[in-house]
Amino acid sequence: MSYTLEEIARLAGVSRSTVSRVINHHPSVRPEVRERVWRIIREVGYQPHAAARNLATRRSQIVGVVIPETLPKVFSDPYFPAVLRGISDALIERGYHLMLSLLSPQQEEDFYQRALRGRVVDGIIVLSARITDPLIRRAYQEGLPVVSIGRYPQEPGVTYVDVDNVGGGRMATEHLLRLGRRRVATIAGPQTMAPGIDRLEGYCAALQAWGLSPLPEWIAEGDFTEAGGYMAMHRLLPARPDAVFVASDLMAVGALKALREAGLRVPDDIAIVGYDDVELARFTDPPLTTVRQPIYELGRVAVHLLLRQLEEGTREPQRVILPVELVIRSSCGALREFGAHELSSESFIGS
Amino acid sequence: MSYTLEEIARLAGVSRSTVSRVINHHPSVRPEVRERVWRIIREVGYQPHAAARNLATRRSQIVGVVIPETLPKVFSDPYFPAVLRGISDALIERGYHLMLSLLSPQQEEDFYQRALRGRVVDGIIVLSARITDPLIRRAYQEGLPVVSIGRYPQEPGVTYVDVDNVGGGRMATEHLLRLGRRRVATIAGPQTMAPGIDRLEGYCAALQAWGLSPLPEWIAEGDFTEAGGYMAMHRLLPARPDAVFVASDLMAVGALKALREAGLRVPDDIAIVGYDDVELARFTDPPLTTVRQPIYELGRVAVHLLLRQLEEGTREPQRVILPVELVIRSSCGALREFGAHELSSESFIGS
DNA sequence: AATTTATTTGGGAGCGCTCCCAAAAAGTGC
DNA sequence: GCACTTTTTGGGAGCGCTCCCAAATAAATT
């Protein structure tokens, strides 16, 4: 049914080793022999057996992508497919396969043992929101190749790539300040997640750069959901803000609802800037000014960082931060004054 | 660094074979020996090498999930993550890994050779909208385990699972008829895709069941995008329909826009029923009555069908159709008359 | 206790490839 | 044409597991 190297060798009148060399494009094979071998291979449709090759090379050419089960609920529509496409495209270009693992916390241990220690995969990319993801730490400590998508401050040696959440938060907030708003509040994300922490940091930095100090009553923590945004907005109302930077569009939708119920007009009474630029952001009333992130690129860069570890054996941690851009729509009230345009944060790459 | 069976055997004072038996839960090992071996395994953190095992068993315990590159653009937000979750959950339960391949048509050939014929995966699940997907046909003809998510009429032997698109189309259309509408048009999906064809068939069946015949001027074909829906609606307007069954919510959004521009009120002047129940459907004006599909279940069933082939060697084609349900909101005008409720199509399973 | 039967264990062979080393063939220079 | 170098080729060993068969051991039967 299925051919082996040895059989191809016999058919081509050469040895097993020569066929192996041909397949692996090893230079030291006479052109005529190489041609003859390729012909036989094509003729019989020979395909080397992956497991045998993996065993001999101790490489599987498979990269694991780990997504904690809770994530897709939080990161809304474009995020998940876009980052996967970035990863997938980059892996295919480099001849790797993608093993996707959507894991609940209980399944992580088993995955770690079977897939990573059992060498089903050569390395993993973890899409973790949790700042203390145990899988990343463990893989890193055991010397298994791992890249985190999302900052990983817990363990300074871990290689990661992230979007510029601090810069995005700062940019969004400064945009509101520049429009003349002075009572700028924020609905922050959960302070257990790097994006939640970083976007809030950007907010605070912007205020301080304008000589304002971030007051506790202007900061409400949400959980990145619509309901969370709704409730957070209610907690913010007594402080009478004239603008709110909301750390996710989904929360912004909830906030808009709360404002509508409170009889406040957006952007006249209160300006809103969201974050993520989800599909929905174009359809809210009014359409959301928001921060767009290079999600696809995030995936591509993660792959490059991982393969650098795999193929070049780089052990020094790499850190890449990708720039984000402000997408101006109506909810911030800028359109009447400036016309639509986009702003972009600075990109910086460190190691 | 990493242990092998042989080393564990030496440490436990038994043979390689015995350790292998312990690991594979083979019954014929004395309990005390089994205990001793497990202790050593746990102590040193031994994990069998996947490639070696794969080579010996000729199984990889990996299932490939193939998604043609064009698909995620068409199927909107909940579809893609939901079906993957269904697949992933079911695979994990059965001890398999998921290899995800997002492929462009040019990459399909290479994938077929390397992954499938090279036995990187034990079988594949293909999420194909195209009714003539070449990958499915080829895998099937070469006897490699494959399950199609989405009807596959091309090759009668192919095992597939699908949602009840015909039933959904019929249900949506009948709902409009039951509400007293008689000039019921449709914006159909592309007639190259099974869902496009099937939903239109359901529409026609419903009309006929009510003694009406589907007129050409009441049928406009869209491409499942918002823009396509917008243009299709324009083509439909001259026929002065009082209701439209739109074969996807995204197209319905476009249709609503066209109606708004034409000064028609929904549902008063014209009733709309969409399809898919995407996130957005709750936010349109008015909120869309639509058809919800058991997407998650689709993934789970696909896995069961594939593993049945893999583990039981079933060769007869299996066909499963999952029921859908009507979600009633305001765009059909039913709420005033009946109050909200849901209807569900019949489930049927054939072979 | 001796014999038969069932259970448990060990070791060889093999899965299909790569990698290394030595042998063979081809090429160089005088 | 001969000695020497370089290129090309073949075969052994090994990657780490499973599977089968036979040997060893334990249990059952008379």
The two three-digit tokens of residue A44, written as one number: 């019989």
Domains A62-163+297-323 and A165-294+326-349 equal at CATH topology level: yes
- pLDDT at residue B74, rounded to an integer: 56
> Could you tell me which chain A residue has the CA closest to the CA of B70?
A85
pLDDT at A77: 59
Q: What is the pLDDT of residue A338?
A: 45
Q: Is residue B305 over pLDDT 70?
A: yes
Higher pLDDT, B341 or B6: B6
Is the minimum CB–CB distance between A52 and chain B shorter than 8 Å? yes
Burial (CB count within 10 angstroms: exposed 0-12, middle 13-18, buried 19+), residue B268:
exposed
Cα angle at B299 between B298 and B301, to 5 degrees? 65
Using the Cβ of B286 and the Cβ atoms of chain A, whether some distance falls under 8 Å is answered with no
* B30 CA: nearest nucleotide by C1': C8
Residues of B in contact with A98 (CB under 8 A): 99-101
Kindly report each contact of residues A231-238 with a partner whose C-beta sits within 8 Å and lies 24 or more positions away, as own/partner: A231/A258, A232/A187, A233/A187, A233/A258, A233/A259, A234/A258, A236/A185, A236/A187, A237/A262
Type of residue numbered B34: R
Residues B81, A88: C-beta atoms closer than 8 Å? no
DSSP characters over A111-171: HIIIIIITTSSSEEEEE--BTT-HHHHHHHHTT--EEEES--TTSTT-EEEEE-HHHHHHH
pLDDT at B11: 93
CATH code of domain B165-294+326-349: 3.40.50.2300
CATH class for the domain made up of A5-57: mainly alpha
For residues A116 and A139, the answer to whether their CB atoms sit within 8 Å is yes
Contacting residues of B for A60, CB less than 8 Å apart: 50-51
pLDDT tens column, B106-156: 999 999 999 999 999 999 999 987 778 889 999 999 999 999 999 998 899
pTM of the model: 0.89
What does the pLDDT read at residue B261? 94
- When comparing pLDDT for B346 and B121, which is higher? B121
Q: What percent of chain B has pLDDT over 70?
A: 93
Q: Which chain A residues are Cβ-neighbours of B51 within 8 angstroms?
A: 51, 54-55, 58, 60, 119
DSSP string, A44-75: HT----HHHHHHHHT---EEEEEEETTHHHHS
pLDDT computed for residue B349 by the predictor: 38
Would you state the pLDDT for residue B47? 96
Q: What is the pLDDT along chain A (351 residues), one digit of tens a residue?
A: 689 999 999 999 999 999 999 999 999 899 999 999 999 999 999 999 999 999 999 999 999 999 987 766 655 557 888 899 999 999 999 999 999 999 998 999 999 999 999 999 999 999 987 778 889 999 999 999 999 999 998 899 999 999 999 999 999 999 999 999 999 999 999 998 889 999 999 999 999 999 999 999 999 999 998 899 999 999 999 999 999 999 999 999 999 999 999 999 988 999 999 999 988 888 888 999 999 999 999 999 999 999 999 998 888 999 999 999 999 999 998 875 444 444 455 433 333
Residue B170, number of CB atoms within 10 A of its CB: 24
The pLDDT, as a whole number, for residue A334 is: 80
Would you kindly state where each structural domain of chain A is located, as residue ranges?
5-57, 62-163+297-323, 165-294+326-349
pLDDT beyond 60 at B73? yes
Cα distance between residue B150 and residue A89, in whole Å: 25
Which pLDDT score, from 0 to 100, does residue B344 have? 52
Look at the block and give the residue holding tokens 């397949």: A23
Q: Which CATH number fits domain B62-163+297-323: 3.40.50.2300, 3.30.450.90, 3.40.50.300, 3.10.620.30?
A: 3.40.50.2300
Q: For position B337, what pLDDT does the model report? A: 47
Residue pointed to by tokens 């359109």: A335
Mean pLDDT of chain B: 91
pLDDT tens, B176-186?
Answer: 999 999 999 99
Gyration radius from chain A CA atoms: 26
B89 touches chain A (CB under 8 A): yes
pLDDT band, residue B1 (cuts 50/70/90): low
Alpha-carbon span B267 to B260, nearest angstrom: 11
* Distance, CA of B107 to chain centre: 21
- Any chain A CB within 8 A of the CB of B100? yes
Place of tokens 């871990």: A158
